[in-house]
Structure 1
Amino acid sequence: IVHQIDFILTNKDCWCIVPNTVAQMLAKKSNIRVHETNFNIPKRKIFYLHSIENRYENHIITELIHYLKQELIELEKNGVLECNF
């Protein structure tokens, strides 16, 4: 959670595990050290929910969900995650 990172950056006794892109961005803006892990991070389940009967749905939401699915499928092909649709 982004606002927890603020607390971590201001408390010298804290640490966190973040994606590499986040770590590199924070290292450019803050006085922190970045260390790579020497262990496997456990896999996490990520869900997205979509109401099939959403009467307020519009084409923008439909396109967003379409592109999100395409991105998830691509990440699965590259072995980054597993998808269950």
Structure 2
Amino acid sequence: MGVRGLRWIPVCAVAVLWCVALARAALEIGGAAAGAAAVVAGGWGLSVLPVHCVPKSRADEQAARARRAVRRMAARVRGGRGEPGAG
């Protein structure tokens, strides 16, 4: 497993912990537990909604701006300008 595969370990751990907490809250019998389970389940459902959607033209502009910024930073690093202690 490479370095890229290792980044999934904490993601999976958090997902498992979330599922265990949700199951525990949902299966617990009591007045307050039902409300807490609804909040937990509702929070999970809201977190996967695509609330970050923007029109395609604006998304393309933002992506182009980000690509230009990355190219400028890479050029600085390759050219030796802007590095700490270089001045």
**Same fold by TM-score greater than 0.5:** no
Specify the TM-score bucket, using the shorter chain as the normaliser: 0.3 to 0.5
Query: Which TM-score applies when normalising by structure 2?
Result: 0.32
Query: Which TM-score applies when normalising by structure 1?
Result: 0.32
Between Structure 1 and Structure 2, the one with more helix by share is: 2
The structure with more radius of gyration: 2
